Amino acid sequence: METTVAPVIEIKNLTKRYSESGPIVIDSLNLTIQPGEFVAIVGASGCGKSTLLNILSGLEKPSSGSVELNAKASLMFQESALLPWLTAGKNIELALKLSGYPPENRRARAQELLELVHLSHAYNQRPHELSGGMRQRVAIARAIAQDRKILLMDEPFSALDAITRDLLHDELIRIWEETGLAVLFVTHNVREAVRLGQRVILMSSKPGKIIRQWKIDFAQPRRIDSNDVAHFASAITDQLRQEIIRHA
Amino acid sequence: MPNFEYIPDDQIKEARQKQLESLSAGLDNLESDSGSKTSVSKRALKAIAPLAAVVIVLAIWQLLVILKWQPTWVLPSPAMVVDSLVQQYNQGLLVPSAINSLRRGVQGFAISLLIATPIGIALGLNANLRAIARPIITGLQQLPSVAWVPAAIIWFGLSDATIFAVILLGAVPSIANGLISGIDQIPPIYLRAGKVLGARGLTSITHIVVPAAWPGYLAGLEQGWAFAWRSLMAAELIAIAPSLGPGLGQMLDTGRQLGDMSLVLGAIVTIMVVGVLVERLVFSPIRQNTLRNRGLLHAR
Ligand SMILES: Nc1ncnc2c1ncn2[C@@H]1O[C@H](COP(=O)(O)OP(=O)(O)O)[C@@H](O)[C@H]1O
Ligand SMILES: [Mg+2]
């Protein structure tokens, strides 16, 4: 059954160094992601998580190995990266424009996307007038505007307070269920990874490799303070600590 | 036996959805700032302050005249200056002079803008080009553009071209340098965001680079205008010919030739007023608007 569906992302033996003589940042990494799958990647700071997403989004080139995406990906950053000279609505319209959406429908589509993230009133607001959580929701809407099958998220909620982050977890899962996107979500927060992912991948540092994966199979909506999440999170945290101790 | 109430799945989902929406709305209202407004008295003070400055200068001036600090052919009274401006107006000279100067200034500035913008973008984006060309631009910027007037007269004769050449040499380096600094100061995240959104080449320049560099570019434009206006006055003062028509610089020179201090001061005041009006009516609103839109206004 599983083999009949082509994966959206297939990474084989990916190796990355930023310069010829520089350290290996990512070392022969293999990873396959299925359509509509939600995969969370955890790892210590500096282990190459951002590098991996940048390669997948085309911002960086692999040094060797192959990266195959059967659809284009959109990428969301830790800071919202909304363009401050445009309103929330116009930020989304720019994404629509640059991905070739017909001009006459852009405004209506942007409004629809704002409704998707529960911000229908925010069309004319400037990024600086929005709270951090609202900015990240607009950024989600802008990423979805690009109409891609893959959403890459690089610690998108780590600058937010716990209450807002909790809410955005719920929102993100709802949007993922509604859109059927494949999501690759990078975080250094183990509980967040377990709260969100169907699969949690632990990366080692220096060089970055996948050391272990966990299948998280209990149903959404999960709560970040539930026993199930805590149970998985403590197992993963133990491994992560061992990995960090290895570098002491 | 406990009593289970049957709730259909989609109803649970709907309820969850509703709750999520209210939670969102609640947080949004708690977190976002409701927009601080400057008080009426503060705004009134801001509007009155420049007028107060004018009144103070006039009062001191008038006082010096009353005290007979200097004879009136050296320091005429404000009323005499106004009188000579009225005279110029009645002779049909004041308005055409001001308009003609302003036209040359605006045209020269517009040409400068068209030349400086591609230069600024090219040098802002290409480090090699910049290493070669920036010293030239900075050198030009250091040189007062009046120094070009004799050369321009030899090259172009006594024509508008001479005056435009001098304006260009004053304004182009400022505008280009402003744009280059603006590009240098673009937070890298915006360029990355642009790439991720699919902006490449010209789309990236028009949709990301220029708007992101706009604050620096605008500062360059303001400085460029100030240089253009100064260069224009210097050029008009030196290059005088019937073919060039009237101008504020020429008016200044007429005053000098007649030994008419009221006229000289009248021309100076007019040059200043035109400069201030352009700043107040054109650049200042654009700058305020930019700062407000980008949320940079509260800080000051
Ligand atoms: N543009 C770059 N040039 C050189 N080294 C880089 C660059 N970006 C990241 N690195 C290095 O690669 C390693 C992994 O970085 P990164 O992918 O940002 O890690 P993470 O996102 O997991 O914190 C770090 O050691 C970092 O210093
Ligand atoms: Mg990172």
Mean residue pLDDT of chain B comes to 89
| For residues A36-64, average pLDDT | 94
DSSP letters spanning A16-80: EESSTTSPEEEEEEEEEE-TT-EEEEE--TTSSHHHHHHHHTTSS--SEEEEEESS-EEEE-SS-
pLDDT exceeds 70 at position B9 = no
pLDDT exceeds 60 at position A21 = yes
Contact (Cβ atoms closer than 8 angstroms) between residue A49 and residue A186: yes
3-state class of A210 per DSSP? strand
pLDDT, position A103: 96
CB contact under 8 A, B20 and A134: no
Higher-pLDDT residue of A210 and B4 is: A210
CB contact under 8 A, B196 and A164: no
Which pLDDT tens digit goes with each residue over B200-220? Answer: 999 999 999 999 999 999 999
Calculate the alpha carbon distances from B174 to B129, B160, B206, B216, B220 in Å: 18, 22, 21, 11, 5
Higher-pLDDT residue of B26 and A235 is: A235
Mean residue pLDDT of chain A comes to 93
pLDDT, position B291: 92
| For residues B15-29, average pLDDT | 79
Nearest CB to B197 within list A94, A119, A126 = A94
**What percent of chain A clears pLDDT 70, i.e. is strictly above it?**
98
Contact (Cβ atoms closer than 8 angstroms) between residue B67 and residue B75: no
| For residues B260-285, average pLDDT | 94
Q: What is the ipTM of this complex?
A: 0.90
| For residues A134-158, average pLDDT | 95
Nearest C-alpha to atom 17 of ligand 1 is from which residue? Answer: A48
Residues in chain A: 248
pLDDT exceeds 80 at position B36 = no
Nearest-Cα residue of chain A relative to residue B208: A83
pLDDT exceeds 80 at position B1 = no
Chain B neighbors of A58, CB-CB under 8 A: 195
Q: Is A26 a pocket residue for ligand 1 (Cβ < 6 Å)? A: no
pLDDT exceeds 80 at position B3 = no
pLDDT, position A138: 96
Question: CA-based angle B41:B44:B45, to the nearest 5?
Answer: 85
Torsion of CA A173, A177, A180, A185, to 10 degrees: 10
Higher-pLDDT residue of B300 and A211 is: A211
Q: How confident is the model at residue A206 (pLDDT cuts 50, 70, 90)?
A: confident
pLDDT exceeds 90 at position B86 = yes
Q: CA–CA separation, B140 vs B165, rounded Å?
A: 13
Nearest-Cα residue of chain B relative to residue A160: B31
pLDDT exceeds 60 at position B299 = no
pLDDT, position B26: 82
Q: CA–CA separation, B154 vs A67, rounded Å?
A: 65
Determine the distance in angstroms separating the CA of A239 from the nearest CA of chain B, rounded to an integer: 33
pLDDT, position A94: 97
| For residues A26-40, average pLDDT | 95
Residues in chain B: 300
DSSP letters spanning chain B: ---PPP--HHHHHHHHHHHHHHHHHHHHHHHS-------HHHHHHHHHHHHHHHHHHHHHHHHHHHTT-S-TTTS--HHHHHHHHHHHHHTT-HHHHHHHHHHHHHHHHHHHHHHHHHHHHHHHH-HHHHHHHHHHHHHHHHS-GGGGHHHHHHHH-SSHHHHHHHHHHHHHHHHHHHHHHHHHTS-HHHHHHHHHHT--HHHHIIIIIHHHHHHHHHHHHHHHHHHHHHHHHHHHHH---GGG---HHHHHHHHHHHT-HHHHHHHHHHHHHHHHHHIIIIIHHHHHHHHHHTT-STT-
Q: Domain spans of chain B?
A: 79-293
pLDDT exceeds 80 at position B264 = yes
| For residues A32-37, average pLDDT | 95
Q: CA–CA separation, B45 vs B62, rounded Å?
A: 25
CB contact under 8 A, A126 and B293: yes
CATH code for the structural domain at A1-71+149-248: 3.40.50.300
**What percent of chain B clears pLDDT 90, i.e. is strictly above it?**
67
Closest by Cα among A160, A164, A162 to A78: A160
pLDDT exceeds 90 at position A3 = no
Q: Domain spans of chain A?
A: 1-71+149-248, 83-147
- The CA R_g of chain A, rounded to the nearest whole Å, is 18
pLDDT exceeds 90 at position A62 = yes
* Domain topology for B79-293: MetI-like fold (1.10.3720)
| For residues A126-152, average pLDDT | 94
pLDDT exceeds 60 at position B34 = no
Q: CA–CA separation, B236 vs B151, rounded Å?
A: 14
Contact (Cβ atoms closer than 8 angstroms) between residue A34 and residue A8: yes
Which pLDDT tens digit goes with each residue over B107-161? Answer: 999 999 999 999 999 999 999 999 999 899 989 888 888 888 899 999 998 888 9
Non-local CB neighbours of B26 within 8 Å, separated by 6+ positions: none
Higher-pLDDT residue of B274 and A4 is: B274
pLDDT exceeds 90 at position B29 = no
Contact (Cβ atoms closer than 8 angstroms) between residue B81 and residue B266: yes
**What percent of chain A clears pLDDT 90, i.e. is strictly above it?**
85
CB contact under 8 A, A85 and B211: yes
3-state class of A11 per DSSP? strand
